[in-house]
A = this chain, B = another copy of it.
Amino acid sequence: MALLAVGSIAFDDIKTPYGQERNILGGSATYFAVSASFFAPVRLVAVVGDDFDEEHLRVFTDRGIDVTGLQRAPGRTFRWSGEYDGDMNVARTLDTQLNVFEHFSPKIPPSYADSEFVFLGNIDPPLQLHVRKQMARTRLGACDTMNYWIQRKPAELRQTLAHVDALLINEGEARMLSGTENLRRAAAIIRAMGPRVLVIKRGEHGVCLFKDRAIFFAPAYPLEQVHDPTGAGDTFAGGFMGHLARCGDLSDCSLFRAMVYGSVMASFAVEEFGLRRLLRLRPEEIEERFREFRHMTHFDV
């Protein structure tokens, strides 16, 4: 089933203890779409500037991603510059230039209208809601958000959350949004805002899902070297939503598998800078690492 992705496309300058790269293709929609494209047909809505050329476009089209909804605007594409040190869990933002992303207003092409799975990346909550309301055939509408919106647009964010089925956020954001430190109580408070499914991303400590009475944990894959954590969360979301769109099954069992596929995809993404590892990933590597997750978490009763 088709999976619609709305979010940012960016050019990133990234520095980690393992090196430094400039001007590499990134952004939430990019990581999400590339990751999800291993599982299901992906439809992209994002905005780019004059500096986005054919070579960049091919990153998407080579993976079969539908770019009908890719908007072009005069000016430069969104740019982000960040640095990681030590434990690689937190990026220090050195510079953000919104450029064409500042006035991004997502337009949904008619050919996307029947998308059954929708992922609203981290953009202004009213824009997320605007897209969500146009998608009448959606079986699972998910969104991401960030500290900035939680603090600056709490009322608008609440309206969006009332209209999504799933929310994927990190641990610090969950605490900020709920106003409580305890993860289980935070989950109950956030789920009462609307999303039936809540996924909390905990970086190197893995991910956990809350839905009705079910709770599920998946660890992060223990890599010897994390070269670049940029995009790990969006790559996780791509694997998670991609699996669900592929199988069309929203049972607990399917959601749990989706958690593991998301973790698998994120573990590959951080092995190299930017999209490099994802772009040469083979489907059989995904399945092999999926089985490794089973060995790392299952025990006999």
Also in contact, A222 and B300, with CB within 8 A (given A205-B205, A206-B217, A295-B214): no
Also in contact, A260 and B217, with CB within 8 A (given A182-B225, A222-B208, A225-B182): no
Residue of B nearest to A88 (CB): B181
Query: 0/1 per residue, A178-205, Cβ < 8 Å to B?
Result: 0001111100000000000000001011
A205 and B301 alpha carbons, distance in the complex (Å): 22
Query: 0/1 per residue, A76-97, Cβ < 8 Å to B?
Result: 0000000000111000000000
Rounded to whole Å, the gap between the CB of A292 and the closest CB of chain B is 9
B294 contacts A301, C-beta separation under 8 Å: yes
Residue of B nearest to A185 (CB): B224
A297 contacts B216, C-beta separation under 8 Å: yes
A113 contacts the other chain (Cβ, under 8 Å)?
Answer: no
When all copies of this chain in the complex are counted, the total is 2
Also in contact, A219 and B225, with CB within 8 A (given A257-B299, A299-B256): no
Residue of B nearest to A210 (CB): B222
Residue of B nearest to A222 (CB): B184
A215 contacts the other chain (Cβ, under 8 Å)?
Answer: yes
A13 and B181 alpha carbons, distance in the complex (Å): 24
A57 and B281 alpha carbons, distance in the complex (Å): 61
A296 contacts the other chain (Cβ, under 8 Å)?
Answer: yes
A103 contacts the other chain (Cβ, under 8 Å)?
Answer: no
Interface residues in A271-301 (C-beta closer than 8 Å to B): 290-291, 294-301
B219 contacts A208, C-beta separation under 8 Å: yes
Query: 0/1 per residue, A257-274, Cβ < 8 Å to B?
Result: 101100000000000000
A291 contacts B297, C-beta separation under 8 Å: no
A223 contacts the other chain (Cβ, under 8 Å)?
Answer: yes
Rounded to whole Å, the gap between the CB of A90 and the closest CB of chain B is 13
A226 contacts the other chain (Cβ, under 8 Å)?
Answer: yes
A214 and B298 alpha carbons, distance in the complex (Å): 12
A298 contacts B296, C-beta separation under 8 Å: no
B297 contacts A184, C-beta separation under 8 Å: no
A136 contacts the other chain (Cβ, under 8 Å)?
Answer: no
A27 and B190 alpha carbons, distance in the complex (Å): 38
Rounded to whole Å, the gap between the CB of A119 and the closest CB of chain B is 21
Residue of B nearest to A259 (CB): B299
Which residues of A are interface residues toward B (Cβ below 8 A)? 86-88, 181-185, 202, 204-206, 208, 214-219, 222-226, 253, 256-257, 259-260, 290-291, 294-301
**Listed A/B pairs (24) with beta-carbon separation below 8 Å:** A87-B181, A88-B181, A182-B225, A183-B222, A184-B223, A206-B217, A206-B219, A208-B222, A214-B295, A215-B296, A216-B296, A216-B299, A217-B219, A218-B297, A253-B299, A253-B300, A256-B298, A256-B300, A257-B300, A260-B299, A291-B301, A294-B299, A294-B301, A297-B297
